[in-house]
Structures are given as C-alpha cells and as structure tokens.
Structure 1
Amino acid sequence: MILTGHIRPLGHEYKTPISYLMRLDNEEIPLNDYLGKTIEINYLGEISCIYCGRKIKKSFNNGSCFPCFRDRPENDVCIVKPHLCHFHKGTCRDEDFGQTHCMQPHIVYLALSDDIKVGITRKPNMIKRWIDQGAVAAVPIAEVPDRKTAGEIEIHLSQFINDKTNWRRMLKNQIADKDLLAVRSDIKNQIPDQYQQFFDESHDVWTFEYPQLQIPDKIKSLSLDKQEHIKGNLIGVKAQYMILDNGVINMRKFSGYKVRVELYL
C-alpha cells in the first residue's frame, strides 16, 4: 500500500490492546495490522500548518505556522500551564474556545507511564489523554468545574509527584512498581483545604495494553528534520510513537509534514 498526505497525530481506540491508526490527511491506516511488517516513510519536503493550511518552512508546537502559534487559543501559554488561565481577566485569545474547552469540568488524575505522574484533562478526553501519554494505568482523583482550578491543584501536587513522563523509560516499559490507589489515598492530605471538596476516591483504576511485539533495548529517536527517508519493521506503537526495529518516531511532532508512506504486508 502506498499513500501520500500530511501527517496527523495517531488515532486510537480503547481496546485490548489499543487499536492504532496512522492518519494522513483524511486517510486512516490500521497500524495493528502492520505489526512485524516493513513501513517506509519518505518526507516530501513540504510542511503545511494544521490550522490554516499555509505552506511553511518550520512548524511550531507540533504543526502550527508562526501566526497560528502566536494567535490561536490552542497555543496559548495556559494550555501547557493551566494554572495561568486568564479567561476571567478578559484576555483569552478566543472567548468561545475558552467557554468550550476551559470553562468545562476537568479531572485531575494520576497516571503510571514510567513513574506515577499527576495531570489534568477535560473529562470526555481522559482516556485519549492517558493513551497519548503511554499510561499503563490511570485513575481520576478530583473533578473540578474549570481548567484553571485543575491546574492549580496540579501545580501544587507537582511538589510531591512528577508532572512529566520520561518518554524513553515509558517506551522501554521501565515502569515503577507502585499502587495508584495507595498513592491516591496518601496524596489526599497534600491537597489544600480549599480544594478538598473536589477530591474523589470513588473511581477504579483504568488499565491499558499496547500493541508491541518486542521492547526496544535502546531508544533512538528518528526525525524527519534530519532524515527524509525512514524505513524499518514496526515492532510496536505506544503513546504517539511508532516503534520500529531501528528507532522510534513521534508522529504528533511531525504533524503537517507531507510524506509518502509505503506499507508492506
């Protein structure tokens, strides 16, 4: 099979194991069907902004042109630092976006990808978020009315729990032997009094299994900025990474890159 198009982040469906899709523009390729098979990716020297479609030489924040990076609400600083949300100050880049995405119920969660980390997401997106992070287990610990409140709890708890994933350890399945429910119980006393009303111990742990034929001993990052031709046998997919027998490529990072993909059954 040969397909040409612009890379989009990997799609996935919560199954056992996770069912992955490679996405090129409107085309979707069921990656699980190609485990153990050869995949060839050729970069065609063209990048298009994932928002406005303009041709660009360099992308910002996983697929934006500079004006979209500068102006769109999806790229505002409060997206990566939600405790800095400025919607209430009237300075949101897009009030409709703020109402739809930020002034909505969010959950604060614990996820186990390499070690336990704390994070936040909108409630309808939690499973997608956990899979994108390569979590093998996750559990909500609080539900709050808006993104800013979730961010304030997250930044406080990050004093005691990591808020980032070590992606190399995650891909090598080097996972800490820790009990999410025990950590959830322990962390309750670390939540400030004004947020205790949101703490929730009722949720069970979600678990995730990824399609992997083998675990790489070493992690070599493959980049379309450095090599226009990538070819290898697909041995796994986890988070937003395609794991080949000669390296790994973060497909979200190269959103908007135009490629020709050849898949061999």
Structure 2
Amino acid sequence: MPYTGTLRKMRVSTNSNHQAQYQLPVGEDLLAMNELIGRSISLTHSGAIYCVHCSRKTNKSFNQGYCYPCMRSLAQCDTCIIKPEQCHYHEGTCREPQWGEEHCFSDHFVYLANTGNLKVGITRHVTDGISSRWIDQGASQATVMLRVPDRLTSGQVEKLCTQYIGDKTNWRTMLKGQPEQQDLIALKHQMLAKLEAELSTISAQKGLQAFAAVDDISHTIDYPVEQYPVKIKSINLDKTPQFSGILQGIKGQYWLLDEDRVINIRKYAGYEVEFDSH
C-alpha cells in the first residue's frame, strides 16, 4: 500500500552482523527499507515542502529541510555546526544559548573513517561502539581517535587533522563499491604522533580533562547492497518529482537503483511524497 507524508532522513542502526539497518520515516509511518532491497519501489513528490523544525510550508528547503527563517535563526543551522572550531558561545553570541548548552557542552568524539577515502570527523553519540554518523556517511570502517569534553575542542582537533587528511565524504567514491580496507588503528596513532605538540597546547589551555583515552577498536560496517552503480546518475526530486525502479541497495543516506541511478534521501527532508513498493 502507498504511504503519504513528509520525508525525513533514514533512521539507522546495525544488527548483530554489523550490517546497516534502515528505516524510512514517511509522515507518521516508519518503513523497514532493508526488506525492500531487490524489489520495485516508486516515489512521487507532490511539490509541497514543509520545514522540519516549524512545519511552515516553504518554496525552498535550506540545510536539508529548514525554511529560510529557521535557517537564519536556529543554532543548529549556524555556521559553527559545520565548522565547530568557530563556536562562538563564549563570546555571548550563540543564537540559542540553552540549545548550545544542551548540545555543545557534552562529550564529543573525534574519529577516523574509511568512506572510500580516509577522513576525520566528529560525533556526539557512539552507541555500542558505533556512531549513526558513520552509517550516514557510508563509512565501511571507523575508529574513535579522541574523546573531548565539548564541541569547540572537537572542532579544534578536527581542524588540526585536516592538515593531513580531508573532513568530507566524496559521495561518488563512497557509492562506487567496497573500499580497500585500511589499518585505522595504525593510522590513528600516526595522526596522534603528528599532532602531539599541538594537542599538548590545547591540553595546557583546557586542563587535564581536555582529552580522554579511548580503546583501540576499529569497527567495520556492512551495507545492504546487491549491486553498485557503474556510472552514477543522481536523481533530483525538484527536477524529477516522480521515479520508480528496483532498489538495488542502500549506503549512507543514498538509495541505489537500477540503471545506475542514486538519490540522497537526506537532502529531501521535509518534502511531501507518496512512497510505494511492489
């Protein structure tokens, strides 16, 4: 039966075999997407878009689901969310101080991940050793490098790491297949050695609690993919409001369809759609 409502990014987890599990929110419904691999699906966008925060109808979506006023006013849409080293709470200019206190002043984890290329990133949550952020980015391997007490410190460490590796996922590389395995633990210690002097400076400024030791554990994540695209063709719902095809896999927040087509579901949060499977 068809499901109608606004889209949200897929909810993710892993099972006992370390395979990514996906659930698609459509309105009030939550659909188990792993079960649909190999089946025909269809998605139709009505043309309506609603802000994921205030539910206001909007002609255009910003920051993956927000209306323009929310994008301009919410702390979660500020530049420092993308560049946490630019956190300005201490300057008294945080858009929403209470939100900042709840989200930015708790433990954060700086990690290394293999998404086809080695990258550095930060996350607030690691459940049973796995961060949902790793799955969202399509990481096949990941390891926590450092635990720090706040978002600003995590951003400062991430910025230091970008002297040597990137901090963004190349989605086209990620979708081309399983990447070659890397020794993330060895790479982690190499990175820590390169940053030893700079990390010592941060520690001297912030005190002994600036960094906490983490175990040397490299996590592997498998994805439900039957076939990867050869020549990627990206679907844009604004230009192609209706499509159908065989769902050949899911990786990151992307559906992989027949005829080498892919779509980034997270990009269309707030879009009103009708979804069906056969």
Using the size of structure 2 for normalisation, the TM-score is: 0.91
Secondary structure of the structure 2 residue equivalent to 1:9? coil
Q: Which of 212, 222, 236 is the equivalent residue of 1:209?
A: 222
- The CA distance in 2 between the partners of 1:103 and 1:207, in whole Å, is 29
Contact 2:123–2:131 under 8 Å retained in 1: no
- Corresponding residue of 2:206: none
- Corresponding residue of 2:146: 142
Contact 1:237–1:243 under 8 Å retained in 2: yes
Contact 1:116–1:176 under 8 Å retained in 2: no
Pairwise mapping of residues 13-32 of structure 1 onto structure 2 (< 5 A)? 13-15=13-15, 16=17, 17-32=19-34
- Worse-superposed segment, 197-206 or 140-149: 197-206
- The CA distance in 1 between the partners of 2:78 and 2:27, in whole Å, is 25
- Worse-superposed segment, 192-201 or 30-39: 192-201
Change (3 A) 1:207 1:177: closer
List gaps (5 residues or longer) in structure 1: none
Shift of 1:178: 2.4
Query: What does the per-residue CA deviation read over 1:203-248, in whole Å, with 9 as the maximum and x for residues that have no partner?
Result: 3111100101111112111010111111110000011111111311
Using the size of structure 1 for normalisation, the TM-score is: 0.96
Pairwise mapping of residues 10-89 of structure 1 onto structure 2 (< 5 A)? 10-15=10-15, 16=17, 17-89=19-91
Query: When the two structures are aligned, how many residues end up with a matched partner?
Result: 264
Secondary structure of the structure 2 residue equivalent to 1:55? coil
Pairwise mapping of residues 108-147 of structure 1 onto structure 2 (< 5 A)? 108-124=110-126, 127-147=131-151
- The CA distance in 1 between the partners of 2:68 and 2:102, in whole Å, is 24
Pairwise mapping of residues 208-247 of structure 1 onto structure 2 (< 5 A)? 208-246=221-259, 247=261
Q: Match for 1:204: what amino acid? A: I
- The CA distance in 2 between the partners of 1:186 and 1:61, in whole Å, is 35
Q: Which of 149, 170, 194 is the equivalent residue of 2:201?
A: 194
Shift of 1:102: 0.4
Q: Are 1:260 and 2:256 matched, yes or no?
A: no
Secondary structure of the structure 1 residue equivalent to 2:131? helix
Aligned-residue identity in percent? 41
Query: What does the per-residue CA deviation read over 1:51-73, in whole Å, with 9 as the maximum and x for residues that have no partner?
Result: 11111111101011000000011
Q: Match for 1:227: what amino acid? A: T
Secondary structure of the structure 1 residue equivalent to 2:7? strand
Contact 1:140–1:200 under 8 Å retained in 2: no
Secondary structure of the structure 1 residue equivalent to 2:143? strand
Q: Match for 1:129: what amino acid? A: R
- The CA distance in 1 between the partners of 2:152 and 2:56, in whole Å, is 32
List gaps (5 residues or longer) in structure 2: 204-209
Q: Match for 1:218: what amino acid? A: K
Shift of 1:199: 6.4
